Structure 1
Amino acid sequence: MNVTVRYFAAAAEAAGTEQEQLSVSGEPTLASLKALLAARYGEPMQKVMDAGSFLVDQVVRRDPQTALSDRVDVLPPFAGG
């Protein structure tokens, strides 16, 4: 499955880009995307993923079994009040 992954703030810094097209092999779940990103970008991306969130179908998702859509946003943790 091809997925457009958009990165914001620290996630974009870890990936070195704000957006890319990735091919997720096997079962297209959030778990498989996270494994792909960790292998591709290492510790900096892992830290973002551990503390951040993912938008799938414009809804915040953290369940590893969430099925992917054609676009996923990787969001770092946000501070504010």
Structure 2
Amino acid sequence: MDVQDKVEINVLYFAAASTATGLSQETISVPLNLPLSRLGNILVARHPKATDLSKILDGSQWSVDEEMVDEPETVELKGGEEVAIICPVSGG
């Protein structure tokens, strides 16, 4: 894969995802046209010490540029997007 086949996105981590990674946001390079549904695998590989991250991501929703995504497999990342991990929140 050539360098030009990579694009940068900004990932926002909230709640449990932020706790697991120790980050509130980071900018990462991903392959051009990466399906959003594959981003979780990249994040888990980037943060091997975040032992529960895979489980957290499986139970979370995604938003791209402040729009909630119902079907992550249908969204391709082109570069420049802000992707947020929206974890379930319990409360009372």
TM-score (norm 2): 0.73
Structure ranking higher in strand proportion: 2
- Kindly report the root-mean-square deviation, in angstroms, between the aligned alpha carbons of the 2 structures: 1.9
Instruction: Give the aligned partner of residue 83 of structure 2.
Output: 72
Instruction: Give the aligned partner of residue 59 of structure 1.
Output: 67
CA distance in 1, matches of 2:69, 2:62: 5
CA shift for structure 1 position 18: 0.5
After TM superposition, which residue ranges in structure 1, 4 or more long, deviate above 6 angstroms?
A: none
Aligned residues: 81
**Secondary structure, aligned partner of 2:54:** helix
5+ residue gaps, structure 1, are none
CA distance in 1, matches of 2:65, 2:27: 16
Instruction: Render the CA deviation track for 1:30-49: whole Å, top value 9, x for unaligned.
Output: 12311101222254111111
5+ residue gaps, structure 2, are 1-6
Q: Aligned letter for 2:46?
A: R
Instruction: Give the aligned partner of residue 35 of structure 1.
Output: 41
Alignment partner of 2:21 out of 12, 15, 25:
15
